[in-house]
Amino acid sequence: MLLSAVLLVSCCVTGGAVKDDAPIIIVPGFIEPMLGINIDEKNEEQLWPFTVPTLVGKILSDFPVLAARLAGLAVGNFDRFGTRLGQDAWDILYKLTCNPDGSSDYGIESFPQDPAQTTVRYLKNHKSGKYLPMAAFSKEIAAGYDADRTFVFCYNSQLDSLALATQLRAYIAAVKDYTGAEKVRLCSHSYGGQILAAYFFQYPDDCDAEKAVMIFPALAGTDAIKHILEADTDVPFDDIVFFLENLLKSPLSLETLISDKLCSEISEFASYGLAEVVEMWRYWGSMYALCSNEYYDALKAEFLDPVESAPIIEANDIIHYEMMPNLQSIFENCQAKGIPVSIISGSGVQECLGGDDNTDVLLPTKYATGAECAKYGAHFSDGYEPKGTVCDDPAHRHVSPAMDIDASTAFLPENTWFVEHAFHGGYGVQDYTMNLIEKLLLTDEITDVYSDPAFPQFNYSDNVNLGVLYGFDASQIGYLSADDHAIVIKNLNKLAPIKVLSVTASGLDLDFDAGKSLLVLPGQSVTIPFSGDVPAVKAQRTDITVKYMEGFSVNTMTRGFTVDNA
């Protein structure tokens, strides 16, 4: 169950006036559209997301076996329990399988693409409104804008991004006709970002978009597809803690409740369960579209027959050999036509199914943005100079404070924002990220990463489960210079106070006066002065660690900062 949630995670206040009344089209992520048979008819069969009655019925019918397998966990039989859960999942979802050519024997479809039936207001009021794609985000945007002019492109996520781009083009035309608008604003998440890129790739002369905002986009795929198709998982300890804290929206650290042994057992259980359902995805065109270029050729050779699966291969060869290598020029063409494209990416988390990339849990940051990235937990050497392959302006600060991202190589260096520890599907609980999305989408106040000091190119998530957020008093967040004389620490917990116990800076002779301990009320900040000299260096990394007490728990938060004081 945990693995399913990890795999499938793919959802505010406007800072300025709404630009105009151009309708918004939301292109949601891979798992968000509803799939079924005879959708919206009296005899409809909803397959995804599976309904509570379906799940409860399966559990009850299989309860004796499940109970026995659950009891076996006590003696380490994770393989048998994982296998049984996988078999039950297959019994519920098997109709979602495709033929070797990518077609479906069951007539799978998504929610209708009629604009009148896909406004946020209509979807909220529909009988399946609880499964509204991008629910939290759609509702927030509609609240700040207009639920009747905010539309959701509902698509069949079995299909590759080229096929869906063609459908999106038709949907844009239908929304324009329905509203009488000349242009639309496009906002995408995850796989929706790749669909949007495929639309711009296939139809480079279209000028129907007023702007495009991509949230954690799967532009160049993810290595997680390899782990899914090969049923080979290795769930990292940090990711399990991070995922559960996000899932529970916990302000308290769960790190002490989870052991390395439990992580290995979860990975074993997940692999056995995944092996039972992997055949469901084998011939989905979208799975290969979402695969990174690094593994595409190998997975294509392993799982697809060159004759039987020719339609899947033909489309995905175009995606991987023609579209993905040219994402920069695709977006630059948009900019040249007056269509601003903005990208928001997460970073600073290890990939959920194994690997050592810097990710937002699911998507490697390098694939989502084109930026050069150090591996997870690593960083560039002190004095690092940006590569400047896309932006070579020495006045532009395109290296992250943690010195693990070089955005000078990104597809759009001036229009890409990075939020450290932003969870792939959890931006709806991050005020900072939601505010940035709405600013970019609903106003013209932000044109690039320099437009608003409140939204720098690199920032930290303010998700409550991270405990504290901190930066120095005079410098941009993440940086330290001689102008700084204190650190400002915010309590992200909105319900309970914390006590700051100590602050330390690795490799620097700075003394932070935390007193006996400083009480910080919920949502409030405290300013702690420091003494000592900030060294006259350029691009030197230091780790700033804040130790604090939350309830009866003593927690620490460590973040990479750049000393920039040459």
Q: Tens of pLDDT along 125-178?
A: 765 544 454 455 555 665 667 888 999 998 999 999 999 999 999 999 999 999
DSSP label at 523?
A: T
pLDDT tier for residue 518 given thresholds of 50, 70 and 90: confident
The helix/strand count (H/E) of the chain reads as: 17, 23
Structure confidence at residue 372 (pLDDT): 96
Rounded to the nearest 10 degrees, the angle between the axes of helix 191-202 and helix 161-179 is: 80
Which has more confidence, 256 or 509? Answer: 509
Query: Domain residue spans in the chain?
Result: 2-36+110-221+325-458, 468-563
Six-digit token string for 171: 């949907």
Q: Could you count the other beta carbons within 10 Å of the beta carbon of residue 536?
A: 10
Q: Are residues 266 and 241 in contact, defined by beta-carbon separation less than 8 angstroms?
A: no
Report the half-sphere exposure of 403 (CA within 13 A, side-chain side). Answer: 20
Q: How many residues does the chain have?
A: 566
In the block, residue with structure tokens 């639920």: 147
Kindly state the percentage of the chain with pLDDT values over 90. Answer: 55
Residue 296, pLDDT above cutoff 70: yes
Q: Are residues 131 and 34 in contact, defined by beta-carbon separation less than 8 angstroms?
A: yes
Which residues lie below 8 Å from residue 329, measured CB to CB, with a gap of 6+? Answer: none
Which has more confidence, 11 or 177? Answer: 177
Among residues 486, 485, 493, 496, which one has the least CA distance to residue 468? 493
120: helix, strand or coil: helix
Report the half-sphere exposure of 336 (CA within 13 A, side-chain side). Answer: 9
Six-digit token string for 174: 């239908």
Q: Cis omega (within 30 of 0) on the bond before 49?
A: yes
User: What's the burial of 427, exposed, middle or buried (CB within 10 Å: 0-12/13-18/19+)?
Assistant: buried
Six-digit token string for 168: 């999106």
CATH number of 2-36+110-221+325-458: 3.40.50.1820
Structure confidence at residue 139 (pLDDT): 57
Distance CA 290, CA 532 (A): 50
Structure confidence at residue 493 (pLDDT): 87
Kindly state the percentage of the chain with pLDDT values over 70. Answer: 80
Six-digit token string for 40: 């919206």
pLDDT tier for residue 194 given thresholds of 50, 70 and 90: very high
What mean pLDDT, rounded, does the chain reach? 84
Gyration radius of the chain over CA positions: 24
436: helix, strand or coil: helix
CA distances from 31 to 134, 194, 381, 396 (A): 10, 14, 39, 37
Among residues 154, 189, 187, which one has the least CA distance to residue 170? 154
Per-residue pLDDT averaged across 406-423, rounded? 95
Burial 212-234 (b: 16+ CB within 10 A, else e): bbbbbbbbbbbbbbbbbbbbebb
Distance CA 554, CA 6 (A): 27
Distance CA 184, CA 311 (A): 31
343-366 pLDDT tens trace: 999 999 888 777 789 998 889 999
Checking DSSP bridges between strand 468-472 and strand 486-491, what pairing results, if any? antiparallel
Give this prediction's pTM. 0.88
Six-digit token string for 151: 């539309």
Distance CA 72, CA 67 (A): 9
CA distances from 505 to 223, 480, 510, 541 (A): 35, 11, 7, 10
Q: Are residues 549 and 499 in contact, defined by beta-carbon separation less than 8 angstroms?
A: yes
Q: Are residues 49 and 468 in contact, defined by beta-carbon separation less than 8 angstroms?
A: no
Residue type, 320: H
CATH number of 468-563: 2.60.40.10
Q: Which of 377-381, 422-426, 522-526 has the lowest mean pLDDT?
A: 422-426
Distance CA 92, CA 75 (A): 28
For 304-368, list the strands marked E by DSSP.
Answer: 341-347, 349-350, 358-359
Residue 238, pLDDT above cutoff 50: yes
Structure confidence at residue 6 (pLDDT): 39
Which has more confidence, 18 or 508? Answer: 508
Burial 45-73 (b: 16+ CB within 10 A, else e): ebbbbebeebeeebeeebeeebeebeeee
The residues pairing with 109 across neighbouring beta strands, listed in sequence order, are: 36
Distance CA 162, CA 319 (A): 7
Structure confidence at residue 494 (pLDDT): 85
Q: Are residues 134 and 180 in contact, defined by beta-carbon separation less than 8 angstroms?
A: no
Structure confidence at residue 48 (pLDDT): 82
